[in-house]
A and B are shown apart, each in its own frame.
Chain A
Amino acid sequence: MHVQKKSSSGPKMQGRQRQHIGRMLPYELDSRAPESFVVDASHFSRERKTCAAAFDAEQDFRNLAAKIAAVKPPFSHVVLISHKMPRLADALGLQFSDINKNKVRVVSDFALPWIAGELREGEPNIAIVDDSINVGSTIRNVLKRIESCSTKDMKKGTGENKSARPHVFALYGKKRSDQNGYPFFYTLIRDKLLEQDEYNELASKVALRLHLLNKPYELEFPLLTLSYAPGIINAEALFFALQRRFGETRVSSLSHPLPSGTGLYRFAITAPLEEGLHGEQQIRLYADDLSRECRFVPMWIDGVAPGPLSGEQGTIIEAIAKIQRGMEKLLVEDSSAQQKKYCGEALPGEAKLRLKMFVDSLAFALRMLPDFSDLLDLPLESEPILSEQDMIFLFGKAEFYKAWEELTNTVVRNIMRAK
Chain B
Amino acid sequence: MLTTAMEQGSSFMRIFAGDGEGGTTALLGDVLYDEIKKEREGASPPTTLGSIFYAFFEKLAEFVGADQAEPSGAAEDDRYLRLRRGPTFQELCNIMAFYWNEFRYGGYLEKQEVEALVRRYLNKAIDDGRVVATFSQEGKRIYRTGESRLERREYYASLTKKERVHYRKYPCAKFTYREDVDSLQRAIENLYW
- Asked if B69 is an interface residue, CB under 8 A from chain A, the answer is yes
Query: When A200-B149, A204-B150, A268-B123 are in contact, do A346 and B129 touch as well, CB less than 8 Å?
Result: no
> Contact string, B157-168, partner A, CB cutoff 8 A, digits 1/0?
100000000001
- Asked if A252 is an interface residue, CB under 8 A from chain B, the answer is yes
Q: How far apart are the CA atoms of A211 and B171 in the complex, in Å?
A: 15
Q: How far apart are the CA atoms of A207 and B131 in the complex, in Å?
A: 11
A203–B191 contact, CB under 8 A?
no
> Contact string, B108-139, partner A, CB cutoff 8 A, digits 1/0?
00000001100110111011111011011101
A200–B89 contact, CB under 8 A?
no
Contacting residues, chain A, for B27 (C-beta < 8 A): none
- Asked if A254 is an interface residue, CB under 8 A from chain B, the answer is yes
- Asked if A179 is an interface residue, CB under 8 A from chain B, the answer is no
- Which residue of B is nearest A346, CB measured? B80
- Which residue of A is nearest B150, CB measured? A204
Contacting residues, chain B, for A239 (C-beta < 8 A): 193
- Asked if B188 is an interface residue, CB under 8 A from chain A, the answer is yes
A203–B192 contact, CB under 8 A?
no
- Which residue of A is nearest B137, CB measured? A347
> Contact string, A236-272, partner B, CB cutoff 8 A, digits 1/0?
0001000100001101111011011100001010100
CB of B185 to closest CB in A, whole Å: 13
B188–A249 contact, CB under 8 A?
yes
Range of interface residues on chain A?
35 or more
Query: When A84-B129, A218-B126 are in contact, do A196 and B139 touch as well, CB less than 8 Å?
Result: no
List residues of A (161-218) whose CB comes within 8 Å of B's CBs: 196, 199-201, 203-204, 206-208, 210-211, 216-218
- Asked if A135 is an interface residue, CB under 8 A from chain B, the answer is yes
- Asked if B182 is an interface residue, CB under 8 A from chain A, the answer is no
Q: How far apart are the CA atoms of A146 and B192 in the complex, in Å?
A: 45
Q: How far apart are the CA atoms of A207 and B67 in the complex, in Å?
A: 19
- Asked if B148 is an interface residue, CB under 8 A from chain A, the answer is yes
Contacting residues, chain A, for B146 (C-beta < 8 A): 203
- Which residue of B is nearest A345, CB measured? B135
Q: Which of B81, B129, B133 contacts A203 (CB under 8 A)?
A: B129
List residues of A (107-162) whose CB comes within 8 Å of B's CBs: 134-138, 140-141
B89–A279 contact, CB under 8 A?
yes
- Which residue of B is nearest A251, CB measured? B192
CB of A328 to closest CB in B, whole Å: 15
B90–A278 contact, CB under 8 A?
yes
Contacting residues, chain B, for A353 (C-beta < 8 A): 135, 139
B129–A217 contact, CB under 8 A?
yes
Q: How far apart are the CA atoms of A243 and B90 in the complex, in Å?
A: 25
B129–A282 contact, CB under 8 A?
no
- Asked if A320 is an interface residue, CB under 8 A from chain B, the answer is no
Contacting residues, chain B, for A211 (C-beta < 8 A): 127
Contacting residues, chain B, for A249 (C-beta < 8 A): 116, 188, 191
- Asked if B172 is an interface residue, CB under 8 A from chain A, the answer is yes
- Asked if B178 is an interface residue, CB under 8 A from chain A, the answer is no
- Asked if A67 is an interface residue, CB under 8 A from chain B, the answer is no
B79–A207 contact, CB under 8 A?
no
- Asked if B152 is an interface residue, CB under 8 A from chain A, the answer is yes
- Which residue of A is nearest B124, CB measured? A254
Q: How far apart are the CA atoms of A261 and B69 in the complex, in Å?
A: 42
Query: When A203-B129, A254-B124, A301-B89 are in contact, do A138 and B192 touch as well, CB less than 8 Å?
Result: no
- Which residue of B is nearest A262, CB measured? B171
- Which residue of B is nearest A220, CB measured? B133
B126–A268 contact, CB under 8 A?
no
The residue among B81, B133, B137 with the most chain A CB atoms within 10 A of its own CB is B133
> Contact string, A290-308, partner B, CB cutoff 8 A, digits 1/0?
0000000000010100000
- Asked if B84 is an interface residue, CB under 8 A from chain A, the answer is yes
The residue among B80, B129, B157 with the most chain A CB atoms within 10 A of its own CB is B129
CB of B80 to closest CB in A, whole Å: 5
Contacting residues, chain A, for B168 (C-beta < 8 A): 260
A135–B79 contact, CB under 8 A?
yes
Q: Which of B122, B127, B152 contacts A266 (CB under 8 A)?
A: B127
B89–A206 contact, CB under 8 A?
no
Q: How far apart are the CA atoms of A13 and B179 in the complex, in Å?
A: 33
Contacting residues, chain B, for A196 (C-beta < 8 A): 67
Q: Which of B116, B137, B148, B171 contacts A204 (CB under 8 A)?
A: B148
Contact sample, A vs B, 29 pairs, CB 8 Å cutoff: A135-B67, A135-B68, A135-B69, A135-B79, A137-B69, A204-B128, A204-B150, A207-B129, A208-B150, A216-B126, A243-B192, A248-B192, A254-B120, A254-B127, A256-B124, A256-B152, A259-B172, A260-B168, A260-B171, A268-B120, A268-B123, A270-B116, A270-B119, A279-B90, A280-B89, A301-B141, A346-B84, A347-B84, A350-B135
**A residues within 8 Å of B by Cβ?**
83-84, 134-138, 140-141, 196, 199-201, 203-204, 206-208, 210-211, 216-218, 239, 243, 248-249, 251-254, 256-257, 259-261, 266, 268, 270, 278-280, 282, 284, 301, 303, 346-350, 353, 357
